[in-house]
Each structure stands twice: as structure tokens, then as C-alpha cells.
Amino acid sequence: MKDHGFAQDGIELVSVFCHTDDCCPVLGLDNSASEDRAVVIRDDFGAEIRMSRGQLASFAETAKEGLFDS
């Protein structure tokens, strides 16, 4: 399973999101980071975004409501 360097960066792997194009962004928790940067999403190219757990919860709720459905 791809972890995009999370293990070497001390980030706990939570989930891998693969789609048909074989690109697999990963979601992890950086417990050594400040609360507003604890959640990490990193793509296959090394780009990442960081957010708080609360922001991730809000994002997940928006997704559940169908905003991203095509």
C-alpha cells in the first residue's frame, strides 16, 4: 500500500483513496503537529494540504450531503 512517505515523516496512515487512474492520495494524522495542521492529505506528487480534525469533519459532512456527487 502506498503511504507517500508518511512512515518516514512520522505520520500515522489513516486511509488511501485510489481511483481508476491509479493515483492514490493518502490521509494521515500528524500527532506532533499543532491541532490546526494535524490532518494531512498528500498526493502522488508530494503535494499536501493540512487541516484540523474539525475542518476534516466539516469536509466529510459536506461530502455526505452529496455536494461532490456527479
Domain count, the chain: 1
Contact 41, 29 (CB under 8 A): no
69 within domain boundaries: no
Nearest to 41 by CA among 69, 16, 22: 16
> How confident is the model at residue 44, as a pLDDT?
84
> How confident is the model at residue 20, as a pLDDT?
72
Residues contacting residue 37 through CB under 8 Å, at least 6 positions apart: 30, 50, 51, 52
12 within domain boundaries: yes
> How confident is the model at residue 21, as a pLDDT?
73
How does pLDDT run along the chain (70 residues), one tens digit per residue? Answer: 566 778 888 899 999 888 777 788 899 999 999 999 999 999 888 899 999 999 999 999 999 999 888 7
Q: Which domain holds residue 22?
A: 6-64
> How confident is the model at residue 23, as a pLDDT?
81
pTM, 2 dp: 0.82
Residues contacting residue 22 through CB under 8 Å, at least 6 positions apart: none
Which amino acid makes up residue 43?
A: D
70 within domain boundaries: no
